[in-house]
Amino acid sequence: MISGLLGRKVGMTQIFRKNGEVVPVTVIEAGPCIVTQIRTKERDGYESVQIGFGATVARKLTKPQQGHLAGAKTLVRHLREFWADDIADHTIGDTLDVSLFAVGQLVDVVGTSKGRGFAGVVKRHHFAGGPKTHGQSDRHRSAGSIGSGTTPGRVWKGMRMAGRMGNQRVTIQNLEIVEVLPDQNLILVHGSVPGARNGLVRVQRAVKTTK
C-alpha cells in the first residue's frame, strides 16, 4: 500500500468529540490521486509510486508533460512520489482516495509555509532587540553584534540575520486523523498544517510514531 496522498488545505474549523471535548482541526481534501508512474529498482535504482493530483487542461501542460501522463489517461497539475509497502499493488491509472487513512491514525503533513518577504531578526528569529534606554534611540529592533573583530575576524556562516522569511517546506509530524469523510474526499487532522488555504500538501504515514 502507498504511504500517502497529495491534497490541498481547505481551512480550519473545530469539532466536538463524543466526550464533549472541542478539537481544532484542519480540513484537507486528500485526493483523489491518479497513479502516473511506477519506479522500479531495475530501471530507476529505487522503488516508489508517482501520483498526480489536481485536474488541469492540456494547454497548461507542456508536450513532454502530456506525454508522460498519456499512460494514466488523465491530466494532472501536481506530481509527487511516495514509497509503498509493495509497488506491485499499484498500476498506472489506479485511483487512490481517502480510504487509505483511518480515524485515529497518525500522519505527517508536508506543505509550503506562507511567504513573509524580507523580515528583520525580531520577527524572523524572535530576537529581543536592544535596550530601550541608556542612549539607545535607534537600536530597538537591531541584531546587535555579529562577531568579534580580531579572532576570527569574520562573520560565521549560518549567522542568524535579517532576510527572506517563510515560503519554505515545512513538515508537521504525528498529527491525529480525527475524522474521515470518504464521500467528500476530506480528512480532518488535529491541529494546524503549514501553508495558506488551497495550498498543496502531502499527507503521509507518520515515520516517528511514539508507542
CA distances 1 to 87, 113, 204, Å, are 8, 29, 12
Give the per-residue pLDDT at 122.
96
> Quick one: pLDDT at residue 139?
85
Q: Do 122 and 86 lie in a common domain?
A: no
Residue 116: the pLDDT is: 95
The Cα–Cα gap between 204 and 108 comes to: 5
Q: How high is the pLDDT of residue 210?
A: 64
Domain of 126? 117-165
Cα 85 to Cα 1, 146, 191, distances in angstroms: 5, 49, 28
**The residue to which cell 553584534 is assigned:** 145
What is the pLDDT confidence band of residue 211, given thresholds at 50, 70 and 90? low
Tell me, yes or no, whether 130 and 184 share the same domain.
Answer: no
The whole-angstrom distance between residue 90's C-alpha and the CA centroid of its chain comes to 24
SS3 assignment for 64-89: HHHHHCCCCCCCEEEEEEECECCHHH
Q: Which amino acid is at 59?
A: R
Read off the pLDDT of each residue in 119-141 and give the average, rounded to a whole number: 90
Is the model's pLDDT at 209 over the cut of 80? no
Considering its fold, how many domains does the chain have in total? 2
**What pLDDT sits at residue 149?**
86
pLDDT tens-digit map of 64-91: 999 999 988 899 999 999 999 989 889 9
* Phi, psi values for residue 151, rounded to 5°: -125, 120
pLDDT of residue 64: 94
Q: Is the pLDDT of residue 132 over 90?
A: no
Q: Is residue 9 part of a domain?
A: yes
Residue 173 and residue 143 share a domain: no
- Which CATH number belongs to the domain containing residue 173 in this structure? 2.40.30.10
Query: What's the pLDDT at 53?
Result: 94
Residues 83 and 134 both lie in one domain = no
Looking at the fold, whether 112 and 122 belong to one and the same domain comes out as no
